[in-house]
Amino acid sequence: MADGHQRHKQVIGKFRAALYDGDAPALPGQLRQVFAPDCRIRLAFPFEDLAGPDGLYEEAYRPLLTAVPDLERRDFIVIAGESGGNNWVGCAGHYVGVMARPFLHIPPTQRLIAMRYHEFFRIADDQVVEMQALWDIPQLMMQADAWPLSPSLGVNWHAPAPATQDGIVTAPYDQAQAAANRQLVLDMLSDMSKHPLSGGPEVMRLERYWHPKFCWYGPAGIGAMRGIDGFRRWHQIPFLKAMPDRRGAVTKADTFFADGAYVGTTGWPNMQMTLSGDGWLGIPPVNKEITLRSLDFWRCENGLIRENWVLVDLLHMYHQIGVDVFARMREMTVARQPRD
């Protein structure tokens, strides 16, 4: 199977190359070469489930290429591994280019934009049979000065490639290293899940798992932060005050896979919780049960976790509690919306 993981990266390499060139007329045929006709496509809100490679092109990539004609895909993580009997390839990077026209009613900037993506591909018989993908659409709204909701507590920025510049893993698959790093992440999440229902912050033992210079790269709307103190101050405390019963990630351990120093997790969704308190993203305690879609990557170094890239489908979360982010954005930018 180790050789299989390298072959699966080559399958996705065709997809990556097609979007690096961004040739709109050629893209539909290129997608059909990589994706099975009945491939299950799960994309971030508002796209949701799409019908195979043609649906992926018509509903998502064609509008994106129309808005950003010089679109270029830039991966900074590409890993492969087995999870729960399934073979996955995970990619992280940015779609970049000049936003010349509206996208999802986001006004064009006429400037260079970057939209982070985390995309996971399940491979069978050398074809993609399932795609789970989060695009950081709020990041694009912010670059267009069109984000209509609460500001991020963390820093919104262009999330960097790994500090070691080795995120596109090409080395032969190392089963022992992958297993050790996967277990490190699972142990960390298991201890983290003990708080607050089973004790104070000390029960998480984050110092045991996280490097002193740990960086957490969250989505636009939450932001990035550094170290345990930064993570707790700018994300974890507000998150747990609002949703102390959060659950799901560790109980779905079969959605985690690893490759070299990197660990990835899929899940659609992979967390469930009740918004019973306030303090997170300025949302009041609506007492609604919600699910979160989160596609994550970790980089491990000398037995500690040093970097964590996290994308959460915040627009889907707002949709579940009855907030129409796009309607509010259109109202906010009405003077910049095209006239019928």
Assigned domain for 205 exists: yes
Assigned domain for 149 exists: no
The pLDDT value recorded for residue 1 is 53
* Separation of alpha carbons 222 and 317, rounded Å: 13
Q: Answer yes or no: do 195 and 261 share one domain.
A: yes
Q: Tell me: pLDDT of 251 over 90.
A: no
Assigned domain for 119 exists: yes
Residue 215 exposure: Cα atoms within 13 Å on the Cβ side:
13
Chain-centre distance for alpha carbon 72? 18
Secondary structure (DSSP) of 90-114: EEEEEEEEE--S-BTTBPP-SSEEE
190-199, 261-270, 284-293, 319-328 — which is least confidently predicted? 190-199
pLDDT digits (tens, 9 = 90+) for 84-121: 899 999 999 999 999 999 999 999 999 999 999 999 99
Tell me which range, 180-194, 246-260, 288-302, is most confidently predicted by mean pLDDT: 288-302
Q: 136 and 313 in contact (C-beta within 8 Å)?
A: no
- Return the C-alpha torsion angle 43, 318, 241, 299, nearest 10: 20
* Separation of alpha carbons 280 and 238, rounded Å: 5
Assigned domain for 74 exists: yes
Please compute the mean of the pLDDT values over residues 45-56 and round it to a whole number.
97
Please name the residue that has the structure tokens 């799960």: 42
Please compute the mean of the pLDDT values over residues 50-57 and round it to a whole number.
96
Q: Answer yes or no: do 139 and 203 share one domain.
A: no
The pLDDT value recorded for residue 69 is 96
Q: Answer yes or no: do 230 and 314 share one domain.
A: yes
The pLDDT value recorded for residue 294 is 94
Q: Answer yes or no: do 116 and 181 share one domain.
A: no
Give the list of residues 6+ apart from residue 76 with CB closer than 8 angstroms, or none.
92, 93, 94, 160, 161, 162, 167, 168
Assigned domain for 138 exists: yes
Please name the residue that has the structure tokens 């390839």: 89
Q: Tell me: pLDDT of 141 over 90.
A: yes
Q: 77 and 297 in contact (C-beta within 8 Å)?
A: yes
Assigned domain for 335 exists: no
Please compute the mean of the pLDDT values over residues 174-193 and round it to a whole number.
94
Please compute the mean of the pLDDT values over residues 132-140 and round it to a whole number.
98
Whole-prediction pTM value?
A: 0.95
Q: Answer yes or no: do 136 and 183 share one domain.
A: no
- Return the C-alpha torsion angle 149, 107, 27, 132, nearest 10: 0
**Which ranges in the chain belong to alpha helices (H)?**
2-21, 27-34, 52-56, 62-67, 137-143, 175-192, 206-209, 227-231, 237-242, 314-320, 325-332
Separate counts of helices (H) and strands (E) for the chain = 11, 14
Q: 268 and 42 in contact (C-beta within 8 Å)?
A: yes
CATH of the domain at 74: 3.10.450.50
* Domain end among 95, 125, 143: 143
**Nearest-5° angle of CA 5, CA 10, CA 16?**
125
Cis peptide leading into 269, omega within 30 of 0? yes
Neighbouring-strand partners of residue 85:
none
Please compute the mean of the pLDDT values over residues 47-51 and round it to a whole number.
96
- Structural domain boundaries, residue 84: 2-143
Q: Answer yes or no: do 136 and 188 share one domain.
A: no
Q: Answer yes or no: do 130 and 179 share one domain.
A: no
Q: Answer yes or no: do 185 and 42 share one domain.
A: no
Q: 243 and 276 in contact (C-beta within 8 Å)?
A: yes
DSSP state letter for 321: T
Counted domains in the chain: 2
Please compute the mean of the pLDDT values over residues 18-47 and round it to a whole number.
94
Q: Answer yes or no: do 217 and 321 share one domain.
A: yes
Please compute the mean of the pLDDT values over residues 29-50 and round it to a whole number.
97
Assigned domain for 290 exists: yes
The pLDDT value recorded for residue 204 is 79
Helix, strand, or coil here: 249?
A: coil
DSSP state letter for 161: P
Q: Answer yes or no: do 125 and 183 share one domain.
A: no
Give the list of residues 6+ apart from residue 77 with CB closer than 8 angstroms, or none.
90, 91, 92, 93, 161, 162, 167, 168, 262, 297, 309
Q: Answer yes or no: do 179 and 287 share one domain.
A: yes
* Domain end among 88, 119, 143: 143
Q: 181 and 262 in contact (C-beta within 8 Å)?
A: yes
Q: Answer yes or no: do 133 and 241 share one domain.
A: no
Assigned domain for 128 exists: yes
